[in-house]
Amino acid sequence: MDRRRFLKTLSGGTIALAGAVGPVRAMAGPKEGPMGIVQFVQSTSGKWDPKLYAQLLGAANAFKEGDVTVGVAAATERKRAQARKLLAATRLGEIDAHPPLDDGMYRALRAGLDPRAQASCAGWTFAELKRFLLRRDEAAIQAVMPGLSSDVIACVVKGMTNDELTAVSAKIFNPLPGSTLGARDHLGARLQPNSPTDDPEDIRWQVFDGWSYAVGDLMLGTNPVSSEPAQVHAVELALQDLIVTFGLADTLPHCVLAHIDVQAEVERRWPGSTALWFQSIAGSDAANATFDLSLERLLAHADARRGRYGLYMETGQGADFTNGHGQGMDMVLHESRKYGLARLLGQHVAAARGGPPWVHVNDVAGFIGPEVFRTRDQLVRCCLEDLVMGKLHGLCIGLDVCSTLHMDVSLDDLDFCLDAVAPARPAYLIALPTKIDPMLGYLTTGFQDHVRLREKFGVRVDDRMWAFFQKLGVVDGQGKPTSHFGDPLWVYLQYRRRKGDERPEAEVRAEGARQMAAVRRRGVHLAEGHGATWSDLEPGLAKEVRRIYDDGKRAIWAEFDAPFRASMTGATFLATRSIDRSDYILHPTTGEVLHGASLASVKDLRARQDGAVDVQIVVSDGLNALSINNRAQFQPFLRMLREGLTGAGHHVSPADIVVTSGRVRAGYRIGEELFGGLPGRRAILHVIGERPGTGHDTFSVYITCPDGGKWGRTGTVDHDITRVIAGIADEALAPRLGAESTIRVLRDMWGSGGKPA
C-alpha cells in the first residue's frame, strides 16, 4: 500500500486519540513498504513532534482507563489497529533512537544493555520481533534479551493478542539461583501475613495456616502498619523466628515491606535482622522521587546486598500517573521501564554477590483502582503484558492478581483472572488465608486458590519447600494431602516441639486454639479444613468472606452522615471538585483539588488564624466514611489527638477542616493555602477513611510538616515527605494508640526537619 492510501485509512485523514491531534496530511511519493511510527510523525508534522509520537505509542495499547487520563488512549478499536500497524512497521533501533522520555534513569538503563545483542536486532521491525518471539525457542530468545531495551519490550507487547502474550510468557523462565522458583512447571507463593496492628501472633498464625496447605515457598513478606524502625525490627524478628525454628534459614527469606531506607536503618541498628530488602519502584526519575528515591540511592542499596538474598521489588501499571508523574507516557512504557530498573539493580546485586542476582519482581496488578482499569478483562490483559515484559527483561516475575472494592471485579472474577493468567506461568502469586487482606483491605489470592491452581494446571512449589512440607506432614510422599492438611494447629504443634515444648499434644492444641480465636477476633480470618474439595473454603468462612466483601462495597459508597456533621462543632466544611460520589471514585484527581468556594474558605481561615497555628487537623471521608461516622471510635481519637498535641506544646487550630470527597492530596493543597510562606514548621494531620473490606471500618492519619517556605512552593509537598498511621479502629489499631502514634511520629518528624525520621 502506498503512503497516500495508508494515510487515508486513518479515520478519513484524522487521528482522533484521547488528546486533540490535527489533520494528517497525505504525502505524495513513490510506492514503498508500510510506514513506521517515526517516519509517520516526521512526515505528518514536517518536524519531530514528541506529543504526536507519545500519542501514537499510547494508541497502540489495549484500552485501559489510565491511558485516557494520561491523554494517549485511542478512541476506538479501529484507531488502535491503525496505531499498531504503524508500530509493527517500525524498526527497533528507531524506537531506541527516539525515547519518549529521556531522563537519568533512561540513560542508565540504556547503558546497561548488551551492545552486541542490541545491534543484532536493531534493524528488525516489531512485526519481525513478534514473529521471532512466537516461533523461536527459549534459548534463542534468551540470547537476544540482554539487548532489548525497556521501550522496545513495551512496544512489542502492544501488538500481541492475549493468546500470543500467553504463548511467549509460557516459554521463558528466569528461575532464582539455587532454587526452582520461577522454573518451568512451578508456581510459588509469597506468603503475605499482614496484620491490622503488626501483631506478631497475627503474623505467626497466618504462616502456620499457609504452611498447613503447603503454601508459602518464595518468601514471608509482611506489609507493616508502622514504618518506625523499632516496629519494623519487631516484625522482622517474628518472621525470622519462624524461619530459624523450622530450619529454613538457607531456603526461605523474610521481608518487611517498609521503605528501603528504613530497612537499611534496621539492618544498621540490628545487624542480621533483615534478609530480603523491598522497594516499590517507578518508571522515571520524577516518579521515583514520589517514593523519596533516587537512582543513585537505589544502586547503593543494591551494591550493599552482599548476603544470600538481594532485592524484592513491586510495580504496577498506573502508579506513575496516579502519583502525578505520567509525563505524557503511556502506562505500558512506564511499567516496562520499571522492569528495566529492576534488571539494572539486579546487575548490581550480582556484582556485589559475585554471582547471579537473587532479585525478583511482583507486579501488583489492580491495586490502585478504576482510574487505572476497571474490569476483569483489563486485569487479565495487564497481567499478561507485565509477565512478558518482566520475563523479557530476564526477571523472575510474579503477580498479585488483585482488585480493590471500587473496581468492577468481584470475588468470582478473580478466579476467572487466575485461570486466565496461570497458563502464562507466572513465577509466583500472593497468598493469604482468604482472598481478603485483613490490613490492606483489597482482594487477592487465597491459600486454597493455590491448591486449586496446582491441581488444575499441573504446577508445583519449589522443590526444597515441597520436601519441607512433606517432612512437616501436611502432604505425603506422593504429594497427596494428609489428615494434617489444612490444620494450622498441627503446624503450631510442630513449631512448639522444635522449641523444646514437651507438653501433651492436647494441651498444646488447646493453647493454639485460644490463640487462633484471638487472631480471628482481631479480624484475621484464618482458613481451616475445606469445603467440598481440598481447594474450597470451609462453608462458614466462605460465607463470612462474602459478608465482608458486601460490607466493603457499602463502605465505598458511604458519605458523611448528619450526626457526624452535627458533632463537628465549629469546623470549616469544604468540598473538592468531585461532582458526586461516582465522579470521586472513578476520577480520583477530582478529589485532590478544592472547589473554588472551598478555596476561598481556606483563605478566610488563614486570615483568621493570623499565623498563630502550627497544626491543622483535616478530616476527609476518603473511601470509607463509615469509619468517621462511627463517633464511638472517631470522637475519642480526635479528642485524645487534640489533647496530646496541645500537651506537646503545639498550637492546634480550634477549627477542624472537614472535606467531602477528599483524597490525600487535598490535604497538601489545604496546607499550601494555610501555611505557604509562614515562618517555621507547620503540620497538616489529615485523617481520612480508608481500606474498606478489611472487616473493620478504619481510618488513617497522613502526617506532613515541612516549613512554610516549602508549603509556599505549590505542588512540591507530596507523599515523599509524609508519614502514615494506618488502620485505626476499635477492632484494629485502637484509637488511643493511633493518637499516641500520630503524636510520636509528628514529634520525630518535627525534630528531623519535617522529613520522615
- What are the tens digits of pLDDT across the range 726-751? 889 998 889 999 999 999 999 999 98
Q: Give residue 25's pLDDT.
A: 34
Q: Give residue 32's pLDDT.
A: 57
The H or E element spanning position 340 is: helix 331-353
Q: Give residue 23's pLDDT.
A: 34
Residues of the chain falling short of pLDDT 70: 1-33, 754-757
Q: Can you tell me the distance from the alpha carbon of 60 to that of 77, in angstroms, rounded to the nearest whole number?
A: 10
8-state DSSP, 26: P
Which of 260, 180, 193, 262 has the alpha carbon at shortest distance from 221?
Answer: 193
Q: Give residue 600's pLDDT.
A: 96
Pairing of strands 277-280, 219-222: unpaired
Q: Give residue 322's pLDDT.
A: 80
Vertex 724, ends 735 and 193: CA angle to 5°? 80
Q: Give residue 13's pLDDT.
A: 33
Burial 173-210 (b: 16+ CB within 10 A, else e): bbbbeebbbbbeebbbbbbbbbbbbbbbbbbbbbbbbb
Domains of the chain: 3-166 (1.10.220.70), 167-547 (3.20.20.70), 557-751 (3.40.50.11240)
Q: Give residue 650's pLDDT.
A: 97
- What are the tens digits of pLDDT across the range 305-353? 877 789 999 999 998 888 788 889 999 999 999 999 999 999 999 988 8
Q: Give residue 354's pLDDT.
A: 82
Q: Give residue 56's pLDDT.
A: 96
Q: Give residue 21's pLDDT.
A: 36
Q: Give residue 755's pLDDT.
A: 62
Q: Give residue 170's pLDDT.
A: 98
Q: Say what angle helices 50-59 and 37-45 make with each other, to 10 degrees.
A: 140
What pTM value is reported for the model? Answer: 0.88
